[in-house]
Amino acid sequence: MIALGADHAGFEYKEKIKALLQSMNVPFEDLGTHSLDSTDYPDYAHQVSLAVAAGKAEFGILVCGTGIGMSIVANKHSGIRAANTESVAGAKLARQHNNANILALGARLTPWETAKEIVQAFLATPFEGGRHQRRVDKIHTLTNL
């Protein structure tokens, strides 16, 4: 299951992502926003991050104007590895090397066709493990300082 969240700037992309996921037969939960009315991006980033961190969703997708604010908030949560991605290559590498579990997109920076390809690549790309697992393990621990 994919947890979806967006602020007002990302609302239209979130709606398009919902249609894309439906066409791919991928289950999702829409955690808001549900209109173009002005909202605060942290509200939705927290909800999606909590769903992923609790195991209620395998992945999360967040959309705001740039993806930056959403990724900053999401990465405050333990166990979350959110990647703000503007390219297909970046989405693949975020999954392969970083085991990213939340994708953040910027609706004002990324054309829809590119965003669509990013979502597809993110969801289709597995984590490579191996040498990357050691590095990912160090993300959520302070014992290596």
Structure tokens belonging to residue 131: 């040498």
Q: Assign residue 58 a region: left if phi > 0, alpha if psi is -120 to 50, beta otherwise?
A: alpha
Which residues does the annotation mark as catalytic? 64, 97
